[in-house]
Chain A
Amino acid sequence: MLPDATAIDKALAAIGSAEVATTTLGLEVRVEADELVAALEALKSGEHDFPMLVDLFGIDTGEAVDIVYHVRSLSRDEDVYVKCALSYEGELTSVWNLYPAALLPERETAELFGLTLAGHPNPKRLLTTDGIEPLLLKSVPIRTVEEVRDR
């Protein structure tokens, strides 16, 4: 379940910004946005095969939107969480040609965190209709002040 941190570190040697850390979640790799695709490619190919994207989602940390790529190796049953911080209203680069599983979650993440989606074959909204605010941002309240007062 928990991969060898040194092996992952070695696999990502070419990625300058990659930082490998073991947390309560598991093995996390933090990369800069411009090196994200290269990092995922390095994880997917070669002996460190992580062929499956289990999940893709965002976390609004208050300073940036963290995009989490949860990848899995089925042969060794190991998980790695690749995280990359994007600025608000930033650009989410699609990784669908590495992991086709990202097609719908990317649309969902871009829409619910107010990001633009680059390199996606169908970059439309997925869950909500035009004019709805990016719901999962902490700056978007679940009810407005007026709605709470009028309840």
Chain B
Amino acid sequence: MSELHDTSYEPGLLAEGTFDPGERPAGIKRIPRGVEHLATEHLVVNVGPQHPSTHGVLRLVLELDGETIVNAEIVIGYLHRGIEKLGEHRRYHQLGTLMDRGDYMSGIHGELAAAMAVEQLMETEVPAKAQWLRTLMSEINRIASHMVWFGTFGLDCGAMGQFLYAMRDREALIDVLEAVTGQRMMFNYVRPGGVLADLTPEMESAIRTFLRTIDGYLDEHDALLGGNEILQMRVKGIGTLDRETAVAFGLTGANLRGSGVGYDVRRDRPYAAYPELEFDVPVGSTGDAWDRYTVRMGEMRQAVRMIRQCIDGIPEGDIMAKVPKVLRPPAGESYACVESSRGELGVHLVSDGSDMPYRFRYRPPSLYSLQALEEILPGRMFADAIMLIGSIDIVLGEIDR
């Protein structure tokens, strides 16, 4: 007989003298006595891989005790296209197209990292105007990417309205990127030696129009989502990654800075035109989901600041250095890293002197952020899991490559 259907008399309850059933009412066989003594077991729940809140094709296997997560395992590989192997069979000019399809939310950064790694090997001097255009496009792309994060993070927390506003602002930026590069997401704009196209006066005025409204919009966004008490209660103090943990798991970008480590590739290892720009690096304190939120919101404001400086400061000159049609860098290795929207995006190239890389390694910042998820999920409620996936801002395209 199972515990559930046990109708036998329970002497323990009566012996304590707290409960006297007296005469049982007619028809009642079982004395009500709670479910504390029932056997419980852990439940294994599969989340994803096809689910909007996993931000792509991420699968989580969660072991639950009631609603509390006891253990979490990350399962990835659903988007594996072998970009690193494909890179070994592409010429150096073609690496940009592969990088676009890695972190598809911020393609410019990936292209820039690949181009910089090739330029390091070739010892190419990039014209100043190209450097400024790279910086400008990087920052436009960063806001576009963070807008998607902002919209979906709210969705993960149960809010709806901010998604529509975020998409409206992202669309304005994507239009600018499309006008300059010809593509909405797969830009292939940054090439080894420079950039593909110059800004026309119309594009410049489109950016200036955007700059006139964005400050007010960012305040509105922050008030709409961050000013919401329900959201604050859901994210404050949750998913805390202290400094040591964040460094040990190799986190970079906003996730690392949220934990109080002020490391930013743009400031600490300046590339493109960043040494000539004025900007601050927002840093959090405790490393909870709220800190990661505030750091990313601050980053968007800094990006706006940088776009303003770029659009006024672009020098005259060439946009492309003189590079051969087929690049054959000398044998050697190089590592170039940029601060992408998700952290330090690195490209490690091994050249054997031929026209294709001998080894092409893509260092995906999201892969390292994702590992920390296994560390912060246990002990949290199931609903927090969805919020925490949103708070570390991953793109599965670059995790699986």
Contacts and interface: CB of A to CB of B under 8 A. Distances in A.
A72 B276 CA distance: 26
Contacts of B244: 51
Interface stretch (A6-14, A32-40, A84-92, A99-107): A99-107
23 contacts: A23-B332, A24-B332, A25-B332, A25-B333, A25-B335, A52-B248, A53-B250, A54-B344, A55-B348, A55-B361, A57-B361, A59-B350, A59-B358, A70-B348, A79-B335, A99-B250, A101-B368, A122-B73, A126-B76, A127-B80, A128-B80, A142-B85, A142-B89
B359 A60 contact: yes
Given A24-B334, A55-B361, A100-B248, A1 B73 contact: no
Contacts of A118: none
A26 B114 CA distance: 18
B184 interface: no
B346 interface: yes
Interface in A88-123: 99-101, 103-105, 112, 122
B80 A55 contact: no
Contacts of A128: 77, 80
Nearest to A77: B268
A136 interface: yes
Given A24-B332, A59-B359, A127-B400, A54 B346 contact: yes
Interface in A20-76: 23-26, 51-55, 57, 59-60, 68, 70, 74
A51 B245 CA distance: 10
Contact of B248 (A25, A51, A60, A79): A51
Contacts, number: 85
Contacts of A57: 348, 361
Given A51-B248, A74-B263, A104-B367, A25 B334 contact: yes
Nearest to A122: B73
Given A52-B247, A55-B363, 12 more contacts: A24-B333, A25-B332, A25-B334, A53-B250, A55-B361, A57-B361, A59-B359, A99-B248, A112-B84, A128-B77, A135-B85, A142-B86
B247 A51 contact: yes
Interface residues of A, number: 34
Contacts of A59: 350, 358-359
Interface in B160-178: none
Interface of B: 73-74, 76-77, 80, 82, 84-86, 88-89, 120-121, 244, 247-250, 261, 263, 268-269, 332-335, 344, 346, 348, 350, 358-359, 361, 363, 367-368, 370-371, 374-375, 400-401
Contacts of B350: 59
B263 A135 contact: no
Given A25-B334, A54-B346, A57-B348, A136 B248 contact: no
A136 B89 CA distance: 12
Interface of B is mostly: mixed
B348 A77 contact: no
Nearest to A68: B348
B371 A103 contact: yes
Contacts of B247: 51-52, 74
Contact of A101 (B249, B348, B359): B249
A136 B371 CA distance: 23
A51 B268 CA distance: 17
A100 B371 contact: yes
Given A24-B333, A55-B346, A74-B263, A101 B250 contact: yes
Contacts of A99: 248, 250
Nearest to A100: B248
A103 B332 CA distance: 28
A26 B73 contact: no
A108 B89 CA distance: 20
Most chain A beta-carbon neighbours within 10 Å: one of B76, B263, B335, B344: B335
Identify the interface centre among B89, B333, B358: most chain A CB within 10 Å of its CB. Answer: B333
A25 to B, nearest CB: 4
B84 A136 contact: yes
B248 A126 contact: no
A77 B344 CA distance: 14
A83 B139 CA distance: 35
B287 to A, nearest CB: 15
Nearest to A74: B263
A151 B256 CA distance: 47
